[in-house]
Amino acid sequence: MVDKEKINILLVDDKPKNLIALEGVLDNPRLNLVKANSGREALSLILDYDFALVLLDVQMPDMDGFETAELMRGIEKTKHIPIIFVTAINKDQKYVFKGYEAGAVDYMFKPVDPEILNSKVNVFIDLFQQKRTIKNQSLELEHKITELNGAFLELQKKEKLLKSQAEEMAAINQDLKEFAYIVSHDLKAPLRAISSLVDWLACDYKDKFNEKGKELLNLLLGRVKRMHDLIEGILRYSRVGRVKEEKVNIDLNLLVPDVIELVDVPDNIEVKIKGDFPKLVAEKTRIEQVFQNLISNAIKYMDKPKGLIQIACKKKEDFWEFSIADNGPGIEEKHFKKIFQIFQTLAPRDEIESTGVGLSLVKKIVEMYGGKVWVESEVTKGSTFFFTVPKLT
């Protein structure tokens, strides 16, 4: 009966021929003309559906048009629906006034002028459309406000979480600072004493040791060196981001060869530098540490008689992408994340001396500059470590 897409107009008359006549006059594709044969039927319809206008006959049995209009004005949902009385009764002004008192917006006499009726109906159609548009916009606005409120609350939650995490990180950094102080003062001093004692024993009493004793002495020397390297690694790790150095212009075409000289490359390993490298504005020591650790890592784990390490750089839109590739043993994919965690190593320390700090230090430095670090690898064929540095660095 009611088409939700069109605009509903309610025609109320107890005579079917009058309803048919009104339908003929109001032949408009925008309209959905709903008919009611009595005031009671009209009231039932307007409570269930939305109407832009009611064309209401005055003379009807049981409940006339005036009574119907007065009842409509007493109901919240229907009191603002415009009513035009259409009647064939005496044109006495008292009936017209009574119609206006009942809440009508207009009063027309039968037979109606089609042009005038359509003109009046079109006015109320336009008003209804405007009202519906405003209502829809209001609902949309309410929906957006609800979404914004939800987003704001979520933002507040995240802000609170970030604040909490920042406070936690500040506490961790303070603990790390204190730990680094303890390491540098309380551990290095006794370690130096142990190292001196072992060196003294090795020099002055080397003839007193049998083969087993010499083996144990060498093992002790190795453990002391490992401990020293671990302490130095922890100190370097703790300084990143906490101890600031002056940023300088760095020509990587000069720095990378210098780093290769420092790491003492074995004769069976060839290190190649491919292409030109950019200039960066950064802390020189930090950039040296990144290249030194990655190159040293490739050398340390090389298992081929003829090792090859290739260092390259690619220019991307917003950053530089560096790579250090080797033909070593490779790494299983399940270990890709683990190797960048501090103190994590894949080979037993008695087989390959490693503190487990090097790659985590690389990750911390690269991320400090806003870059990323990752590895691609195939077991037995080798690994390629990548890291990026933004061009603004």
Of the candidates 53, 21, 16, 17, the residue with the CA atom closest to the CA atom of residue 38: 16
Q: CA-CA distances (angstroms) from residue 71 to 43, 63, 98?
A: 8, 10, 14
Rounded-to-integer distance, Cα 23 and Cα 96, Å = 24
**HSE toward the beta carbon, residue 89, CA cutoff 13 A:** 19
| Whole-number pLDDT of residue 131 | 86
Nearest to 53 by CA among 20, 28, 88, 89: 28
So what's the pLDDT on residue 266? 92
* pLDDT at res. 374: 96
- 213 DSSP assignment: H
* pLDDT computed for residue 379 by the predictor: 93
Secondary structure (3-state) at 293: helix
Give the predicted TM-score (pTM) of the model: 0.49
Detail the DSSP E strand segments found in the chain.
Answer: 7-12, 31-36, 53-56, 83-87, 106-109, 247-251, 269-274, 279-283, 307-315, 319-326, 373-378, 382-390
Q: Write down the pLDDT at residue 91.
A: 63
| pLDDT averaged over 10-residue windows placed end to end, the chain, 393 residues | 74 92 87 91 90 90 87 87 82 64 77 88 88 87 88 87 82 69 66 77 76 78 71 67 77 95 91 94 90 92 94 94 95 89 62 67 90 94 96 72
Contact between residue 304 and residue 328 where contact means Cβ atoms under 8 Å apart: yes
Amino acid at 106: D
Predicted local confidence at residue 264, as pLDDT: 83
Are 85 and 107 within 8 A, CB to CB? yes
Judge whether 14 and 60 are in contact, CB under 8 Å: yes
Its sign, for the CA torsion 28, 29, 35, 41, is: negative
| pLDDT on residue 391 | 86
Detail the DSSP E strand segments found in 241-286: 247-251, 269-274, 279-283
For residue 15, which amino acid is it? K
Amino acid at 116: I
- C-alpha 132/C-alpha 125 separation (Å) is 10
Per residue in 51-88, pLDDT (tens digit) is 999 999 988 888 888 888 889 888 888 888 899 888 87
199-205-209-212 Cα dihedral, nearest 10 degrees:
0
pLDDT of residue 241: 60
What pLDDT is attached to residue 226?
66
